[in-house]
Amino acid sequence: MPLMLLATVLLAIGGVAAYANAHRLIDVVSPISIFVVMFGFMLANLLIREEMQRKALESDLQLQREQAAKARGEMEAARRIQLGILPDVESQFLRESRLDIAARMEPARLVGGDLYDCFMLDEHRAFFAIGDVCGKGVPASLFMVISKTLCKSLALRDEAAQVDPGALMRRANLEISRDNPEMLFVTAFIGVLDLRTGEVSYCNAGHDRPLVFVPGSAPRELGGARAPAICVAEDFEYRMHRQQLTAGEFLCVFTDGVTEAENLAQEQYGKARLDSVLSGIDPGATARELLDAVCASVHAFAAGREPSDDLTLMVLRWKP
């Protein structure tokens, strides 16, 4: 071992030097001298090696940090794109006095699997939709963007007066099932609100039933036969249902990120809490105020707990 040789040589030189300069005779072959010098060299060796290891780990860590930052940068860009696809319903409908609307989506991760949409089919009919892809994160959000885009193009293809949410759901089911290698499915609710009459025609594919209510009274569900989510049964015969809203009535559409939000005790927020927030709202409240009230209530309930699902809510109020 070169170190041993070096140690021996240095010891010898040291011994000679000590005698020559200081007239001291060191017993260079004494075990103690050898031991001391050897120990010194081994310690130096160990320290040098540790230093090299530390430097290697640090540069590894630095590389990982850079990669993570890059991935995060890309995820944040994806989030901006996804949120950008969501319509800004409040400004979009600012000039439509017959409809007060507010909507929000809070993804559980950087990108979500929930989306909502709302646009005018013609000057009197408002189309609105909400959807929830099974799963979260990038695969779900990609699938949701495809579904939303498809749904809108199908809706705009027909004459506004002819848009039948049941037929639309059947077509969307066929189209989306076509290119679905991951076998993801989407729960969806689509509706058309006629702003002249307050009639809602709608179709529900496995989604949580929306709630309609007048402030102060108990909310009731928009009912109808249960149908499966889209891409569960390719040839399902979805049907349209109708409901008449009264003037000033609220319609609240949401995903299960609201009702299934959990607190630290693993309890769910549930329908009952949602019902009580909704029926307790001030009669003069705007859609935005109602939305904020529900979101605040869910956040307060789930405080301290990271959301496990995307939270999406859309509130409409018909004001003829």
Partner 1 sequence: MNISEEQLGNQLFKINLSGRMDVEGVGTIETKLSGMTASPRKAIIVDVSGVQFMSSIGLRALLLNAKAVAKRGGKLVLLNPDSNVRSVLASSGIDQLIPICTGLEEAKVKVAS
By CB under 8 A, the count of residues binding partner 1 is 22
111: left (phi over 0), alpha (psi -120 to 50) or beta: beta
Distances (CA, A) of 84 to 91, 116, 214: 14, 12, 32
Interface with partner 1, residue 211, by CB under 8 A: no
Which residues neighbour 38 within 8 Å (Cβ) at sequence distance 6 or greater?
4, 7
Binding mask 151-180 for partner 1 (x = CB under 8 A): ------------------------------
Largest CA distance in the chain: 117
Binding piece for partner 1, criterion CB under 8 A, among 23-31, 96-104, 182-190, 272-280: 182-190
Q: How far is the CB of 260 from partner 1 (least distance, A)?
A: 8
Return d(Cα 58, Cα 48) in angstroms, integer: 15
Instruction: Please tell me whether residue 150 adopts helix, strand or coil conformation.
Output: helix
CB–CB of 248/290 below 8 Å?
no
Binding piece for partner 1, criterion CB under 8 A, among 8-16, 51-59, 181-189, 272-280: 181-189
The binder of partner 1 chosen from 15, 215, 228, 248 (CB under 8 A): 228
Closer of 185 and 269 to partner 1 (Cβ): 185
Q: Is 65 exposed, middle or buried (0-12, 13-18, 19+ CB in 10 A)?
A: exposed
Closer of 160 and 232 to partner 1 (Cβ): 232
Q: How far is the CB of 205 from partner 1 (least distance, A)?
A: 7
Interface with partner 1, residue 32, by CB under 8 A: no
Instruction: Please tell me whether residue 203 adopts helix, strand or coil conformation.
Output: strand
Q: Dihedral through CA 172, CA 195, CA 223, CA 134, nearest 10?
A: 40
Closer of 73 and 270 to partner 1 (Cβ): 270
Closer of 87 and 165 to partner 1 (Cβ): 165
Interface with partner 1, residue 227, by CB under 8 A: yes
Chain position carrying tokens 């940090």: 65
Please state the separation of Cα 218 from the chain's center in Å. 31
Closer of 139 and 248 to partner 1 (Cβ): 139
Q: Which residues bind partner 1 (CB under 8 A)?
A: 132-136, 183-185, 187, 205-209, 226-229, 232-233, 308-309
